[in-house]
Amino acid sequence: MSRIAVIDFETTGISPAMGDRATEVAIVLTEHGQVVDRFQSLMNAGVRIPSFITQLTGITNAMVAGAPAADAVMREAARFVGDVPLVAHNAAFDRKFWQAELTRAGVEAAHPFACTVLLSRRLYPHAPNHKLGTLIDFHRLPRTGQAHRALADAEMAAALLGQIQHDLRTRHGMADPSHARLVTLQACTRAALPALLQRMACPA
């Protein structure tokens, strides 16, 4: 099983197209379901953090004022990831900021993303909901650090990814739940899922 990088951003809002910027990024590098490296940094994008975001994340304007410039952090994050595929919880959100911030930094951002929200909806329809904290508790996985801080959320998303891969191996006979297979699974319908899982469990 190849390496997968699990990423999480904290931001000033929900849309880089509306001028929102990243304030923190964390990346947890996994291999064979185990964490092998971590990257985390606050970043100064030159914009103010709204008070309601500070209340949610605990990240203040003073904290980012002393942080490295966003473009420098993103170039370092891109070097850390290399060509490893990415996973995020609610990847549609993190993908937008990954692409927008790297574009601002002059770095290509053509990484494929898999989404633990979509995968959880397919594999665990009986979960109370598909928020990260709920799924961590549902699977009895350990909570790490402060919620709505990038490293804690990336660590928990990595643990959830490990649980998903474990269940695909043990419950569904998938010897190699690779990133490419995760992307295929998340795109299928619930009705098509059983047949797809059966095909993926068959020997090549």
Residue corresponding to tokens 């290399």: 82
| pLDDT at 38 > cutoff 70 | yes
Q: How far apart are CA 126 and CA 4, in angstroms?
A: 27
What are the pLDDT digits (tens) for 91-128? Answer: 999 999 999 999 999 999 889 999 999 999 999 999 99
Query: What is the pLDDT of the chain when averaged over all its residues?
Result: 94
Q: Count of CB atoms within 10 A of residue 148's CB?
A: 18
What are the pLDDT digits (tens) for 63-84? Answer: 999 999 999 999 999 999 999 9
- Predicted confidence band of residue 1 (pLDDT cuts 50, 70, 90): very low
Q: Return the pLDDT at 203.
A: 62
Q: Return the pLDDT at 158.
A: 97
pLDDT over 70 for what percent of the chain? 98
Following CA atoms 53, 59, 61, 66 in sequence, which dihedral angle do they give, to the nearest 10 degrees? Answer: -160
Q: Return the pLDDT at 27.
A: 98
Q: How far apart are CA 147 and CA 57, in angstroms?
A: 8
**CA-closest candidate to residue 151, choices 29, 1, 12, 16:** 29
CA angle 190, 127, 89 (to 5 degrees): 80
CA angle 118, 185, 81 (to 5 degrees): 75
Q: Return the pLDDT at 109.
A: 87
CATH ID of 4-201, from 3.40.640.10, 3.10.20.30, 3.30.420.10, 3.60.40.10 = 3.30.420.10
| pLDDT at 204 > cutoff 60 | no
What are the pLDDT digits (tens) for 130-169? Answer: 999 999 999 999 988 777 899 999 999 999 999 999 999 9
The mean pLDDT of 175-180, rounded to a whole number, is 93
